[in-house]
Amino acid sequence: MRRGPRDGPKVWHNPDVLVPRRHPIVRRAEPEAPREIVPEDPIPPPAPSSRRQVVRTPGKIVSQPPPLDDKAIERERLLDKLRVAEGRQAITRAANELKKAGHQPAPDDQVSFLQLLEHTDESVVQSAIEELGRILTLEPVKRFTVLESRLRRLEELADDPATQASARRLRRQATGRETS
């Protein structure tokens, strides 16, 4: 049997596909009396003596920040590339590009130093651990689970025992179990 255009959807039991039916207009038993439209009296203007005198003061002129130079734009582009890089190779490549261009992450840039924990060069990782330790004394951790997993990996898999010890110390500092 062929379906016509008014037969509705083929899958009638699926609430996502079924179009809701239109309900007929419910009419009241007693017709409502027509309302009379009464124009409202316009509000009389206040007396001249009650008006406040508005004193205009000169506004503050705010200029736009100076346009960024090419070097600052390049630095931001490279930092963004480092922040969004995924995987050890991509992070290493982005960090090396940043260093080659002569830039460094800002001293309080927690996300960039967190990314540098994935660098393949352990000297870069060691300096990132030191910077993160300094940052975490001033402000709380932004991405705790990522930091903890990367530090745990460094504790177990780093080649240098000093890097393993630094990662262990920073992980304890981040979790609040600092031991002296």
pLDDT in tens, 106-147: 999 999 999 999 999 999 999 999 999 999 999 999 999 999
Residue 93 falls within a domain, yes or no? yes
- Compute the C-alpha angle 35/39/44, nearest 5°: 150
Residue 52 falls within a domain, yes or no? no
Which structural domain range is residue 87 located in? 70-175
Residue 32 falls within a domain, yes or no? no
Task: Please tell me the predicted confidence (pLDDT) of residue 154.
Answer: 94
Residue 109 falls within a domain, yes or no? yes
Residue 144 falls within a domain, yes or no? yes
Residue 17 falls within a domain, yes or no? no
Task: Please tell me the predicted confidence (pLDDT) of residue 15.
Answer: 58
Low-confidence ranges of the chain (pLDDT < 50): none
Task: Please tell me the predicted confidence (pLDDT) of residue 16.
Answer: 62
Residue 138 falls within a domain, yes or no? yes
**CA–CA separation, 60 vs 70, rounded Å?**
30
**pTM check: above 0.75:** no
Residue 56 falls within a domain, yes or no? no
**CA–CA separation, 178 vs 157, rounded Å?**
22
Task: Please tell me the predicted confidence (pLDDT) of residue 132.
Answer: 94
Number of domains in the chain: 1
Task: Please tell me the predicted confidence (pLDDT) of residue 110.
Answer: 94
